[in-house]
A and B are shown apart, each in its own frame.
Chain A
């Protein structure tokens, strides 16, 4: 079946603008994760959704970042008033459920560049 789908693949925007990044997980996967990867850095966790439970927002770096997941499937990550340090690749991953043993499968990411 189809893998994790993310859009857009690339986004260039001016500092101060808002951006929305979209993730469509693998069909049937109830757990969804957002990470970001800055140049030369490891993946940094942002937020986790599992079914209808309250999301784990512990990784969001500031209140400019928010995410939602509608209908238990598609998720949108929103960054308001973008800053240059927000430039990174934003990766979405999904797994069958959020258990410790479940491997996470990644989409191709959105490369975000803030001018």
Chain B
């Protein structure tokens, strides 16, 4: 069983719509959760971090964490073509020094 699971997509949304990206994790004691954006051929870029249950908003991005259900999601409001990328969910698992990454969800925003 993988530590972090994401739907690989591709997920296509029209410009201006809300994109919803989901991630589940297996370690109930996980402490920290991150969303990275990765453009093709580029390195992962941190866009959101969340540590406690609930919602965290930053501009057009909202991260949602539900530890009881072991999922974390990312909402992108007013999606733009420039948001087209692969979104990686990363989890800091209890007792580990590294992040565990999902394989990413590829998002395409259609103009």
Contact = CB atoms under 8 A, between A and B. Distances in A.
B103 A40 contact: yes
Interface in B1-57: 4, 31-32, 34, 36, 42-46, 49, 51
B24 to A, nearest CB: 14
A105 B46 contact: yes
Interface of B: 4, 31-32, 34, 36, 42-46, 49, 51, 88, 90, 92, 97-104
Main secondary structure of the interface of B (DSSP, over half): strand
Nearest to A53: B97
A109 interface: yes
Main secondary structure of the interface of A (DSSP, over half): loop
Interface of A: 33, 35, 40-43, 45, 48, 50, 56, 59, 91, 98, 100-101, 103-109
